[in-house]
Structure 1
Amino acid sequence: MGYPRKLTRRFQAFDNFAISFTIINIIAGIFSSFGFGMNAGGPRILVFGWIGVSVMVLFVGASMGEIASAYPTSGALYFSAGKLAKRHHGAWSWYTGWLNFVGQVGGTAATDYAAATFIQAFIAMQWPSYQVTPQRTVAITAAILLVQALANTYTVHLVAILNRISVWWLLIGMVIIVTALTVVPIHHQPTSYVAHFANNTGFTNGLYGGMLGLLVTSWTFTGFDGSFHMSEETVRATINTPKGIIRAIGCSAFTGLILMLALVYAIRDYAHEASAAAPPVQILIDALGLGTAKLLLLIVIGAMLFCGLANMTSNTRQIFAFSRDGAMPGSHWWHSVSTRTRTPVKAVWLAAVCSLLLVVPGWWSNTAFTAVVSVNVVGLFLAYGIPIFLRLRLDTFQPGPWHLGRYGKPVAAIAVVWIVISNILFMLPQASPITATSFNYAPIAVAVVLLIATAWWFANARRRFQGPVSYGSPDEVAAMDLI
């Protein structure tokens, strides 16, 4: 790929799969967005929407996997965009990189903020006198970011071990939650309940309300580019990276559907639970009792913490690679690798600080925080879509060992169409009446990011950034190998 090797290859095939499976994180994704789905479509959209969106995401993952096999680098999306563009390589790479960066920072911030929220919910359940405040949520989020940054600083091997643990935490945790919801309650909803439709969004058009409900699955299935970003640290990356992406999406789709069905059929008082502060937690309390609900909530919190850790790992590799090509302020700082830990330590702490900055507005306003982190999903999926779109336009694409053959272009076309549709949904109003509190700030957040990136590009970057840098011929680069 034209780079001297700085990072050690310690990720096995399972480790590569584990990081994307952990970032997708069915428990964290479903529990953090289930309430929105109860009000935007109900069980019909939660279940059948999960199936439909999972299939669409598999198309995105397959197309990304084909690109990852051809360009297995930490730069991942922005690197491949620069290589696949017919012209204006630097501009395509620039915008993809910044969308990916902002989306990943937002993902880490959103996940850890959600974990802090659920931690406070658990504390309030355990000690009713505890007062939940926005300031405490931000403080807990900052503590979580600190611990995750320390873990990412230590060694790649430690992160790999934690990601392996996280896979079993998710799978065993899912089995425990599903078993409890299946065995313990004496009452379950009838089989036909899966077709129940509810539209409490405030919009009179049921189709629109149901379409918004698809965001539950779309929000869950983000971050599977983590396998791509870890490719420089993965053995046999041209094969194991695309397989890691596909396996993570497939396993998440199957296990997530089981968890979704368990929650849906455990619903008792739909109106009461849908209007609760944390609907899935209320479902656990109503179906299992307070004591069991608290124990299961610990599984959910653990899943969210593992998700935030994996998010940060992926984020730091993107920062490392983007800086290696001189695309970030102070690039010489962020692409340096510690001689002791063999990790991009400075990139780790930059990722942690940027995530904390996104969380800080939550000290005063939940709306402000939501406005900033909304760019997470839009930024990531736009970054996913650009290299897939460029691969679709390219007739001379040279695939790697893992490829889709003659199905490559049709799969890419379907992936691009779905990315456009899902991004439109994420930017549309999601509740009515539209007020300062309910307004969807995602379009404004994305516009601000693109405006800053564009101004910076024309002011300075277009003269010094031409896309991914080549350090020389394969022989010359081999002579530079630092390990």
Structure 2
Amino acid sequence: MGYPRKLTRRFRAFDNFAISFTIINIISGIFSSFGFGLNAGGPRILIFGWIGVSVMVLFIGAAMGEIASAYPTSGALYFSAGKLAKKHKGAWSWYTGWLNFVGQVGGTAATGYAAATFIQAFLAMQWPSYDVTGQRTVLITAVILVFQALANTYTVQLVALMNRISVWWLLAGMVVIVTCLTVVPSHHQSASFVTHFANNTGFTNGLYGAMLGLLVTSWTFTGFDGSFHMSEETVQATVNAPRGIVRAIGYSAVTGLILMLALVYAIRDYDRAASASAPPVQVLIDALGTGTAKLLLLIVIGAMLFCGLANMTSNTRQIFAFSRDGAMPGSHWWHSVSPRTRTPVKAVWLAAACSLVLVIPGWWSHTAFTAIVSVNVVGLFLAYGVPIYLRLRLDDFQPGPWHLGRYGRLVGAVAVVWIVFSNVLFMLPHSSPITPRTFNYAPVALGVVLLVATVWWFATARRRFQGPVSYGRPDEVAAMDLI
């Protein structure tokens, strides 16, 4: 790919799969967005929407996997955009890289913020006198980010080990939660409850409310580009990275559906659960009692912490690669690698600092989490869509060992259409009446990112950034390898 090696290849096939599976994180995603789904479509959209959207995301993952096989680098999306563009390579690469950067930072911040929120929910259950505040949420998030940065500072073997543990934590946790929700309650909803529809969004159009409910699954299925970003540290990356992406999505779709069914059928009082401050926690309390609910909540919190750790790892590799091509302020700092651990330590702490900056508004505003999630999802899915779209425009695309054959263009076209449709949904109002608390900040977040990127591009970047850099011929690059 034109770069000297700085990072060691210690990720095996399972490790590569594990990072995307951990970032998708069905427990974290479902528990964070379940309440929104109860009010935007109810069980009908939670279940059937999960199935439909999972299939669409699998199209995106397969199309991305084909590109990952052809361009297995840490730069991933922005690198492949620069290589696939017919012209204006620097501009395509620039915008994709910044969308990916902001989306990654938003993902790390949102996951940490969600974990802090559920930690406070647990503390309030354990000690009723505990006062849940936005200030404490921000402080707990800061502590979480520091510990995740420390874990990422050390060797990549530690990160790989933590991701392996996280896979089994997620699977075992899912089994425990599903088993408890299936066996313990004396009463479950009837089989027909899966068709129950609810529209508490404030909008009178039921179809609109149902479409908003599809976002529950889209919120969950983000971050599977992590396998792509870890390519330079994965053995046989041209095969293992795309397999990691597709397997992570497929396994998450199946296990997530099982968890979603268990939660839906365990609902006792629908209205009370839908209006609760933490709806899935209310479902656990109603079905299992406070004691068991607290134990299961610890599983959820652990899953969120693992998710944030993997998010930061992926975020760091994108920063490392983007800086290596000179696209970030202080690039010479952020793509340096520790000679002892062979990890981009400075990039790790930049990722943690940027994530904390996104979280700080939560000190004053309760809408901060919605804004952070908007930054995460919109930034990432647009970054996913750009290289897939450019691959469709390229007549002489050279696939890697893992490819879709004659179905590549069809799969890519479906992926682009779904990305456009789902991003439009993310931009629309999500509840009515529209107030500062219910306002959808996704368009604002996207507008700010694109405005800053555009001003920066025309001011200075277009003269110094021409897309991915090549350090020379393969033999020259090999001679520069630092490992």
Whether 2:374 is the aligned partner of 1:374: answer: yes
Q: Deviations over 1:105-128 (max 9, x none)?
A: 000000000000000000110011
Question: Partner of 1:210 in structure 2?
Answer: 210
- The aligned counterpart of 1:60 is 60
- Show structure 1 runs of 4+ deviating over 3 A: none
Counterpart-to-counterpart distance in 1, 2:369 and 2:250: 31
Aligned to 1:76: 76
> 1:441 deviation in Å?
1.1
* d(CA) in 1 for partners of 2:69, 2:48: 32
* Compared CA separation, residues 208 and 417, structure 1 to 2 (3 A): same
Determine the C-alpha separation between the residues in 1 that align with 2:473 and 2:462.
Answer: 25
Q: 1:374-406, CA deviations, whole angstroms, 9 ceiling, x for partnerless residues?
A: 111000000000000000111000000000000
In 2, Cα distance between equivalents of 1:451 and 1:368: 21
Alignment-derived partner of residue 240 in structure 1: 240
**Residue 21 of structure 1: CA displacement?**
0.1
For 1:89-168, list aligned pairs within 5 A. 89-168=89-168
Q: Matches of 1:461 and 1:190 in 2, distance apart?
A: 60
Report the equivalent of 1:298.
Answer: 298
Moved more, 432-441 or 281-290: 432-441
Q: 1:358, 1:373 within 8 Å by CA — same for their partners in 2?
A: no
Query: Partners of 1:373 and 1:60 in 2: how far apart?
Result: 20
Query: Residue in 1 aligned with 2:260?
Result: 260
Deviation of residue 165 (structure 1)? Answer: 0.1
Contact 2:359 2:368 in 1 (8 A): no
* Deviation readout 1:328-353 (Å, 9 max, x if unpaired): 00000000000011000000000000
Q: What is aligned with 2:180?
A: 180
What is the letter of the counterpart of residue 449 of structure 1?
A: V
Q: In the TM superposition, what are the counterparts of 1:383-402 in structure 2 within 5 Å? A: 383-402=383-402
Aligned residue type for 1:257: L
Q: Which residue of 2 aligns with 1:230?
A: 230
Report if the CA contact (8 A) 2:110-2:372 is conserved: no
Match in the other structure for 2:48? 48
Shift of 1:372: 4.2
**Residue 283 of structure 1: aligned partner:** 283
The residue type paired with residue 96 of structure 1 is T
String of CA shifts for 1:307-348, please: whole Å, max 9, x gaps. Answer: 000000000000000000000000000000000110000000
Distance 1:461 1:145 in 2: 30
SS of equivalent to 2:367: helix
State the partner residue of 1:192.
192
Q: Following the alignment from structure 1 to structure 2, what is the Cα–Cα distance between the partners of residues 352 and 368?
A: 17
Identity %: 86
| Structure 1 Cα separation of the partners of residues 445 and 299 of structure 2 | 32
For 1:452, the aligned partner's letter is V
8 A contact 2:367–2:437 mirrored in 1: yes
Task: Tell me whether 430-439 or 329-338 shows the greater mean CA deviation.
Answer: 430-439
Q: Is the 8 A contact 1:361 1:369 kept in 2?
A: no
Task: Give the letter for the 1:442 counterpart.
Answer: A
User: What's the counterpart of residue 27 of structure 1?
Assistant: 27
CA distance in 2, matches of 1:39, 1:149: 36
CA–CA separation in structure 1 for the residues paired with 2:159 and 2:109: 19
Deviations 1:125-145 (A, max 9, x none): 001111111111000000000
State the Cα distance separating 1:430 from its structure 2 match: 0.1
- Residue segments in structure 1 that go unaligned for 5+ positions in a row: none
- Closer, same or farther: CA 17–322 of 1 in aligned 2, 3 Å: same
Question: Quick one: distance in 2 between partners of 1:148 and 1:373?
Answer: 19
Equivalents in 2 of 1:372, 1:16: separation in Å?
Answer: 26
The answer as to whether partners of 1:358 and 1:369 remain within 8 angstroms in 2 is no
Give me the TM-score of the superposition, normalised by structure 2: 1.00
Quote how far apart the aligned CAs of 1:368 are.
Answer: 4.0
1:417 matched to 2:417 = yes
Letter in 2 for 1:189: Q
Distance 1:408 1:480 in 2: 35
Q: CA deviation at 1:370?
A: 2.8
TM-score, structure 1 length as denominator?
A: 1.00
The root-mean-square deviation of aligned C-alpha atoms, in Å, is 0.5
Q: Distance in 1 between matches of 2:275 and 2:155?
A: 44
Please say if residues 113 and 369 of structure 2, whose CA atoms lie closer than 8 Å, have aligned partners that are also in contact.
no
Q: Is this contact kept in 2: 1:81–1:93, CA < 8 A?
A: yes
Deviation readout 1:179-207 (Å, 9 max, x if unpaired):
00000000000111000000000000000
Partner-residue secondary structure (3-state), 2:406: helix
User: How far did 1:369 drift?
Assistant: 4.7
1:408 — aligned with what?
A: 408
Structure 2 stretches lacking a partner, 5+ long: none
Structure 2 counterpart of 1:5? 5
Instruction: Assess if the C-alpha contact under 8 Å between 1:10 and 1:233 holds in 2.
Output: yes
Classify the secondary structure of the residue corresponding to 1:366: coil
Amino acid of the residue matched to residue 157 of structure 1? Q
2: CA distance, partners of 1:143 / 1:356: 10
Aligned partner of 2:308 in structure 1 is 308
Where 1:264 maps in the other structure, the secondary structure is helix
Letter in 2 for 1:325: D
Counterparts of 1:23 and 1:76, CA distance in 2 = 16
Distance (Å, rounded) in 2 between the aligned partners of 1:372 and 1:148: 18
Q: 1:323 — aligned with what? A: 323
Query: What is the distance in 2 between the residues matched to 1:439 and 1:245?
Result: 33
| Aligned-partner SS, 1:166 | helix
Aligned counterparts of 1:144 and 1:138: Cα–Cα separation in 2: 10
- Structure-1 separation of matches of 2:137 and 2:296: 21
Mapped partners of 1:309, 1:450: distance in 2: 27
Per the TM alignment, residue 46 of structure 1 is displaced from its structure 2 partner at its CA by 0.1
Q: Distance in 1 between matches of 2:144 and 2:286?
A: 30
Instruction: Kindly state the Cα deviation for residue 371 of structure 1 after the two structures are TM-superposed.
Output: 2.3
Deviations 1:3-30 (CA, angstroms, capped at 9, x unpaired): 0000000000000000000000000000
| Residue equivalent to 2:428 | 428
